[in-house]
Amino acid sequence: MFPLRDNIPSRKLPFVTIGIILINIAVFVYELSLGNLGLEEFVLLYGLVPGNVDFNNTETLYPFISSAFLHGGWLHIISNMWFLWVFGDNVEDYFGHFSFLFFYILSGIAAAIAQYIIDPTSTIPMIGASGAVAGVLGSYLLLFPRSKVLTLVFIFIFITAIEIPAPIMLGLWFALQVLSGIASLDTGLVVGGLIAYWAHIAGFIYGLVIAAISKFSNPKV
């Protein structure tokens, strides 16, 4: 399933969401300019390599943030930024522009910490905005439970677009991450150039928790 748009229009220009997308695109274009050797060095420096983390050396902690702005290919960045575009504007509306930025960065950090905990000795760099975007999805699920999402659905060789309630679509997405994450523990394939499922799971749960706290303390929707 691939979301095309939701049925909740933005009340304000989501300039933080747009800014995050533009920064990610700019970094990706820079990655493309580096060549293979330069790109490898860049990813090792700014991607999260769990085995390089030393909590007594702050320089090794920066990748808990910077890794969320790197991507490994066109499909990687397009899917992440599209999900952020579809769901980020409404979450930004709810939290407010600068609170949303803070929330997005913390979602990425929470996701990176979870993946680090799963395999702290890994030497494979983890990159991508998926964990931070997952935080946005988790918050969207709780904040806009009545929303519907126009979604591309692939049925064998057929493709169709149907409106799916957001809780169903995002719930299925999260269930797939959990099942894949559990399977990855059995195979040992948990980080890096593979898919960081536990980062997705942690980001999503973080988004749910923050949205729940926000609704409880200051209900708006």
- 144 pLDDT tier (thresholds 50, 70, 90): very high
How many domains does one find in the chain? 1
Within-domain flag for 178: yes
pLDDT beyond 80 at 221: no
- Average pLDDT of 17-37? 95
Closest alpha carbon to 87 in 217, 183, 196, 203? 203
CA 66 to chain CA centroid, nearest Å: 13
- Give the model confidence (pLDDT) of 150-200 as tens digits: 998 887 777 888 899 999 999 998 898 888 777 766 544 444 445 688 899
Instruction: State how far the Cα of 64 lies from the Cα of 70, in Å rounded to an integer.
Output: 12
Within-domain flag for 146: yes
What's the pLDDT at 191? 41
- Residue 211: half-sphere exposure toward Cβ, Cα within 13 Å: 26
**CATH code of the domain covering residue 16:** 1.20.1540.10
Burial state string for 29-64 with b = 16 or more CB within 10 A and e = fewer than 16: eebeeeeeeebeebbeebbbbbebbeeeeeeebebb
Within-domain flag for 221: no
Q: Identify residue 13 by its one-letter amino acid code.
A: L
The residue behind tokens 């939701």 is 6
Q: For 70, which DSSP code?
A: -
What's the pLDDT at 120? 92
- Full domain range(s) for residue 120: 2-215
Within-domain flag for 220: no
What's the pLDDT at 36? 84
- Average pLDDT of 98-110? 97
What's the pLDDT at 108? 96
